[in-house]
Amino acid sequence: MATNRRNFIKKTGFLATASAFSPNILLSATKAKKEKLGVALVGLGYYSTDLLAPALQLTKNCELKGIVTGSPHKIPKWKKLYNIKDKNIYNYQNFEQIANNNEIDVIYIVLPPSMHSEYSIRAANTGKHVWCEKPMAPSVSECEAMIKACEVNKVKLAIGYRCQHDPNIQAYMKAAKEKPFGKVKMVSSAAGYFDGRSTHWKQKKSLGGGAMGDMGVYALQGARLATGEEPISVIAKTHTTRPEIYHEVEETVMFQLEFPSGALAACHTSFGIRMSHLQIDYEKGWIKIDPHWKYAGNKGSMSNGTIIDFPLESQQAKQMDDDAYSILNDMPMMVPGEEGLRDIRVVEAVFKSAAKNCEIKI
Ligand code: NAD
Please, what are the domains in the chain?
6-162+318-331 (3.40.50.720), 167-311+344-361 (3.30.360.10)
Cα 333 to chain centroid distance, Å, stands at 11
CA 220 to CA 191: how far, in whole Å? Answer: 9
The percent of residues above 90 in pLDDT, for the chain, comes to 91
pLDDT per residue as tens digits for the range 238-297: 999 999 999 999 999 999 999 999 999 999 999 999 999 999 999 999 999 999 999 999
| pTM for this prediction | 0.92
Ligand 1 shell residues, CB under 6 Å: 43-47, 70-71, 110-113, 133-134, 160, 162, 201, 207, 214
pLDDT per residue as tens digits for the range 94-144: 999 999 999 999 999 999 999 999 999 999 999 999 999 999 999 999 999
Model confidence at 2: pLDDT above 90? no
218: annotated active-site residue: yes
Residue 72 sits at the vertex; the CA angle it makes with 68 and 75, to the nearest 5 degrees, is 70
Quickly state the pLDDT bin for 16 (edges 50, 70, 90).
Answer: very low
Cα 90 to chain centroid distance, Å, stands at 23
Nearest C-alpha to atom 21 of ligand 1 is from which residue?
112
Ligand 1 centroid distance, CA of 112 (Å): 5
Model confidence at 193: pLDDT above 90? yes
Q: Are 254 and 239 in contact (CB under 8 A)?
A: yes
CA distance to 40, 111, 319, per residue, from 142 (Å): 22, 15, 24
Average pLDDT across the chain, whole number = 92
Whether the upstream peptide bond of residue 135 has omega within 30° of 0, thus cis, is: yes
pLDDT per residue as tens digits for the range 22-63: 333 333 344 467 899 999 999 999 999 999 999 999 999 999
pLDDT of residue 33: 74
Q: Are 250 and 238 in contact (CB under 8 A)?
A: yes
Indicate which residue of 90, 218, 246, 282 is catalytic.
218
Ligand 1 centroid distance, CA of 168 (Å): 26
Ligand 1 centroid distance, CA of 5 (Å): 36
